[in-house]
Amino acid sequence: MKKSISTFLKHPTKDNSNRSANPAVIRASTILFNTMQELYQHEKKIKKHQKISHYSYGRYGSSTTIELENILKELEQAFHVFLTGTGFGGVALAIMSLCRPGDEILVSDNVYGPTKEISEKLLKEFNVTANFYNPDSFEDLKNKVSKKTKMILVENPGSNTFEFQDLSKIVNLAKKKNIFTFLDNTWGTPLYLKPLKLGFDMSFSSATKYFSGHSDAMGGSLAVNKKVFKQIMFFYKLSGYRMSADEAYLIIRGLRTLDTRLKQHYENTKQVINFLKRQKKIKEILYPYKSSSKNYKLWKKYYSGATGLLSIVIKSKKKSSVIKFVNSLELFGIGYSWGGFESLAILQELRSRKKDEYLQGRYFFRFNQDEHIVRLHIGLEDPKDLINDLKKSLRYIK
Ligand SMILES: Cc1ncc(COP(=O)(O)O)c(C=O)c1O
């Protein structure tokens, strides 16, 4: 029977051996076989990428992680999904698998800070050059492609400043030039955008965020097409990347309600934005909500929904008053990450604001010294309470 993805997420395979609605958590290093022949047969199947119910050794995963791989394969419409212990592991896996000495990697300048750091600092040690392009300019990207460009790494939208890019243009350019493409799709999730269907080679999500949804698990999901599968599998096996069965179980549990949670995050976010846009102290809201804006049009073109992460730009000569605003919020926790059930707030440190000085991966140079970015994750609380909390705290901004 054909099922919608919402139905599918509620009904991944049951554990028939235990008669439970959920898969068992299989913590395993050694996997036992009855005979050597059975072990050989099993390894052959793995090599041929045939359907298997377990790997041959715990380092590659267990039946619990295979269950998660299968759910994500369906969600991403992928050839294969590599699971890693953290989201960042998935980013590193993609880069380290595909880039070799002499290559160049082109990275959108609004990516998550550590993604910028690995590209800029670590790859240098391996003689791989990282170049950064302006996420608001496809021309800039085009001009920076060279014969050495091996991979284009996009984060859409940038998870601090929320620029949206024209994704098909990037894919078409990369295909013409035989360049691998990677999309960090953590914000939109494969529920709202399927990068592999669009033609990207790799679709990445930090499973720590909306997949798990409860701020109690970490993981990464790198969904790939056939073209890059072999090269990534080679590195995956030799690098020792893996996700634990416990973490996989929690992420499966989170995924069952992904669709329901995301709808509510979006609904709450819309209500909060409705309030924020009327506040004089807020100069700009970085989120695709204004139908006349370029970012809104690009979001509409590619996404079937939006989620709960946004930033607000506050103009103030007194940074300490912006800090006071964040500190005085009662319902927004202060801390890294996002995508859980709860609301969060954090003041982003604008370490570099000089034009053309690409640092920290945050595309911050377009903001002035007296503009402060506070990133908000709108959780699943009652939005009226969130609005009251914001209203009460905004008065501290001077
Ligand atoms: C957009 C984005 N990509 C990747 C990551 C890395 O994921 P993790 O924290 O699971 O390592 C993060 C984490 O904040 C993120 O926001």
Summarize pLDDT for 216-250 with one digit per residue, the tens: 999 999 999 999 999 999 999 999 999 999 999 99
86 pocket-lining for ligand 1 (C-beta < 6 Å): yes
Q: What mean pLDDT comes out for the span 150-176?
A: 96
Kindly give the residue spans of alpha helices, DSSP state H, lying in the chain: 5-10, 36-47, 63-76, 87-98, 113-117, 123-125, 138-144, 167-177, 189-192, 195-198, 226-239, 245-255, 258-276, 294-302, 319-328, 383-394
Neighbouring residues of 344: CB distance < 8 A, sequence distance ≥ 6: 332, 333, 334, 335, 337, 338, 375, 376, 377, 379
Q: Are residues 27 and 141 in the same domain?
A: yes
Q: Among 255, 271, 293, identify where a domain stops.
A: 255
Q: What is the per-residue pLDDT across 255-280, written as a single tens digit (0 to 9) for each? A: 999 999 999 999 999 999 999 999 99
User: What is the tally of helices (H) and strands (E) in the chain?
Assistant: 16, 12
Specify which residues 344 forms β-bridges with.
333, 377
Domain co-membership, 206 together with 285: no
- Domain with residue 371: its CATH number is 3.90.1150.10
Out of 228, 255, 282, pick the residue that ends a domain: 255
Is there a single domain that holds both residue 235 and residue 349? no
In this structure, the strands spanning 149-155 and 104-108 are parallel
pLDDT confidence of 364, banded at 50, 70, 90?
Answer: low
Confidence of residue 13 (pLDDT cuts 50, 70, 90): confident
Contact 109, 361 (CB under 8 A): yes
Domain co-membership, 311 together with 166: no
Structure token digits, residue 206: 């930090």
Identify the band that residue 114 occupies on the pLDDT scale cut at 50, 70 and 90: confident
Mean pLDDT (the chain) is 93
Residues 96 and 78 in one domain: yes
Based on the fold, state whether residues 330 and 198 are members of the same structural domain: no
**380 pLDDT higher than 50:** yes
Which segment of 119-123, 177-181, 210-214 scores lowest on mean pLDDT?
119-123
Structural domain that includes position 289 = 258-394
- Residues 130 and 106: their CA atoms lie apart, in Å, by 6
My answer on whether 329 and 368 are in the same domain is yes
Q: Which range (65-79, 91-105, 183-197, 342-356) has the least confidence?
A: 342-356
CA distance 191 to 86: 20
Q: What percent of the chain has pLDDT over 90?
A: 85
CA-nearest residue for atom 9, ligand 1, is 87
Together in a domain, 267 and 249:
no
Choosing from 88, 108, 204, 205 the residue with most ligand 1 atoms within 8 A of its CB, the one to mutate for a pocket test is 88
187 and 273 inside one domain: no
**Pick from 227, 255, 283: which residue ends a domain?**
255
Contacts of 223 (CB under 8 A, 6+ apart): 72, 73, 76, 78, 80, 81, 82, 190, 195, 196, 202, 203, 204, 205
Q: What is the CATH number of the domain that holds 78?
A: 3.40.640.10
Q: Measured from the CB, is residue 208 less than 6 Å from ligand 1?
A: yes
Looking at the fold, whether 195 and 280 belong to one and the same domain comes out as no
Query: How high is the pLDDT of residue 359?
Result: 44
Distance 36 CA to ligand 1 centre (A): 42
CA distance 14 to 308: 31
Share of the chain above pLDDT 70, in %: 96
Residue 17 banded pLDDT, cuts 50, 70, 90: confident
Assign 350 a pLDDT band (cuts: 50, 70, 90): low
Q: Which of residues 207 and 114 earns the better pLDDT score?
A: 207
Ligand 1: does its nearest atom lie under 6 Å from the Cβ of 88? Answer: yes
CA 184 to chain centre: 5
Instruction: Out of 159, 247, 362, 375, give the residue to mutate to test ligand 1, the one with the largest number of ligand atoms within 8 Å of its CB.
Output: 159
Query: Which residues is 149 bridged to in the sheet?
Result: 104
Asked if residues 119 and 130 have their Cβ atoms less than 8 Å apart, the reply is yes
* Number of folded domains that form the chain: 2
Q: Please write the tens of the pLDDT for every residue from 31-77.
A: 999 999 999 999 999 999 898 989 999 999 999 999 999 999 999 99
87 in contact with ligand 1, CB cutoff 6 A: yes
Q: Whose CA is nearest to atom 10 of ligand 1?
A: 87
150 with 92, same domain: the answer is: yes
Distance 88 CA to ligand 1 centre (A): 6
The 10s digit of each residue's pLDDT in 289-343 is 999 999 999 999 999 999 999 999 999 999 999 999 999 999 999 999 999 999 9
Same domain as 114, residue 182: yes
CA 87 – CA 218 distance, rounded (Å): 7
Residue 287's contacts (CB-CB under 8 Å, 6 or more residues apart) are: 162, 269, 273, 306, 310, 311
Distance between Cα 231 and ligand 1 center (Å): 23
Residue 8 has pLDDT above 50, yes or no: yes
